Amino acid sequence: MANRSILCIAMMVLTLLATVPGTLAQSRERVRTADSISGINTDRLTSKQLRIWTKIERIAEAPDKAGRPLHPRLHSLWQWAKASGHTITIEMAERRDPTDMGGSTTPEQGNSNGLRRAAILWLQLRVIDHAYVDPAVHRSDGLIPFYRLGKYERYAEVVGHELTHAFLMLENPEYARLYSEMRMEAAEFLLSQRQSGNGAAHDDMIRQRHVRLQSMYDRIERPAEAAELEIWRELRNGRRGGVGASAGMDSGWTAMLLDMSSGN
């Protein structure tokens, strides 16, 4: 996140919104799908993609020798997605995406009574497969994305990150509003970049939009990155045969995610 320019972030947000099916314009068929299915919806996957998803599911639900979840944080997010009453629709692409993002999550229209909300979790498989991994390059929190993980564990790391976004989008109205505001801010930022005219006033406006968009992006990503760090550690420990600590969607963990997304 830190190494992206603000123009890159704005382009990424809008490209994502334009390319993820169902985000800007949804067919009646897809709205009916969101209405009828609660939990994780894999109806849009091909048979090949469904086999991939099944392998990710096995990782998320794998037990340790004592029968407890081997990857507790990933498992807790998975169980929430299955039992929340909302709809998480899975989509995959097997070609490179112009955003170079391994995954994304966007809200989708749910049923008409407003009690069930929905989101699309989108995986870019080739981006994940070909992601460059360098143990000398890591995030400030110590995460080296995908380091020492197998193919399907990489996918599971991304799914854990994106399920955190889905959890906050569907369970926290403030976070959902922030996401919507970030989308509008990105559009306005790019529009201001295209407008003609120079001078100090124009440059100052660009800087102000820059700061707002970066702040929103950071708040959107911070809790998902914290969850991803835990999940990456769990996946690495699982490969070494270690036992993960007990974890779940407990009140402490939930409060931490909400606090991080509020910018506190």
Q: What is the pLDDT of residues 133-143, one digit of tens each?
A: 988 888 888 99
- Mean per-residue pLDDT of the chain: 80
Instruction: Give the model confidence (pLDDT) of 41-51 as tens digits.
Output: 999 999 999 99
Q: Which pLDDT score, from 0 to 100, does residue 232 have?
A: 96
Quote the CA–CA distance of 125 and 97 in Å, as a whole number: 10
Instruction: Give the model confidence (pLDDT) of 145-157 as tens digits.
Output: 999 999 999 999 9
The whole-angstrom distance between residue 245's C-alpha and the CA centroid of its chain comes to 23
Instruction: Give the model confidence (pLDDT) of 3-29 as tens digits.
Output: 455 555 555 555 555 444 443 334 334
Separation in Å, CA 61 to CA 145, 164, 196: 21, 17, 54
For range 77-82, the mean pLDDT: 95
Q: Which pLDDT score, from 0 to 100, does residue 27 have?
A: 38
Q: Which pLDDT score, from 0 to 100, does residue 50 have?
A: 97
For range 171-194, the mean pLDDT: 84
Of 202, 171, 209, 168, give the one whose Cα is nearest residue 187.
Answer: 209
Instruction: Give the model confidence (pLDDT) of 80-115 as tens digits.
Output: 999 989 999 999 987 765 557 899 999 886 554 555
More confident residue, 237 or 112: 237
Q: Which pLDDT score, from 0 to 100, does residue 166 have?
A: 95
What are the domain boundaries of the chain? 6-261
Kindly tell me if the per-residue pLDDT of 242 is higher than 50.
Answer: no
Helix (H, G, I), strand (E, B) or coil at 143: coil
Of 140, 177, 123, 158, give the one whose Cα is nearest residue 231.
Answer: 158
For range 180-188, the mean pLDDT: 85
Q: Which pLDDT score, from 0 to 100, does residue 165 have?
A: 95
Determine which of 117-121, 220-224, 228-232, 241-245 has the lowest per-residue pLDDT on average: 241-245
Q: Which pLDDT score, from 0 to 100, does residue 22 have?
A: 41
Write out the DSSP string of 32-43.
HHHHH--EEE-T
Separation in Å, CA 107 to CA 10, 31, 173: 18, 12, 12
Strand 118-124 with 103-108, pairing? antiparallel
Q: Which pLDDT score, from 0 to 100, does residue 191 have?
A: 75
Separation in Å, CA 118 to CA 168, 195, 228, 236, 251: 12, 36, 22, 31, 23
Q: pLDDT band for position 162 (50/70/90)?
A: very high
